[in-house]
Structure 1
Amino acid sequence: MKKDIHPEYHEITVTMTDGTEFKTRSTLKGETLRLDIDPKSHPAWTGQHRLIDTGGQIAKFNKRFAAFGLK
């Protein structure tokens, strides 16, 4: 490999939605990666539909369109 053109490849900690952690190697800047959706919570793997509102997007939508009578 050519020198000084590739990102640093180092060990990081991945935190799942239920709090479990595992270590892997990545070029991600930082030491940790926190997942919002993972195989333990995603409907494709669990078979259950569940709304996940991480950034308040659902509340923002409901507030914006409350005048239309949508719930």
Structure 2
Amino acid sequence: MQIRRGRIQNGAVVLADPTGIPEGAEVTVLIGRPQDPVDVSDEELAEIDAGLAEAQSPHRVDARAFLRELRRGA
């Protein structure tokens, strides 16, 4: 999963940086209200991407399994 920014142009979503997204890829679009803009810096987007990658890492620990292990050790 990735987060990208874009705008509607001529009725289509145009991404600011479409690099790496294959033609025909399925996307989900969240529409913000113009009066409530959310500005996200490139650094913040990088942090979000890093967090998503970490969450999908095979080295992560399932929270339920972690709590079970804590209870067994107590």
Higher helix share: 2
Normalising TM by the smaller chain, what interval? under 0.3
Q: Which has the higher contact order (CA 8 A, sep 6+)?
A: 2
Query: TM-score scaled by structure 2?
Result: 0.25
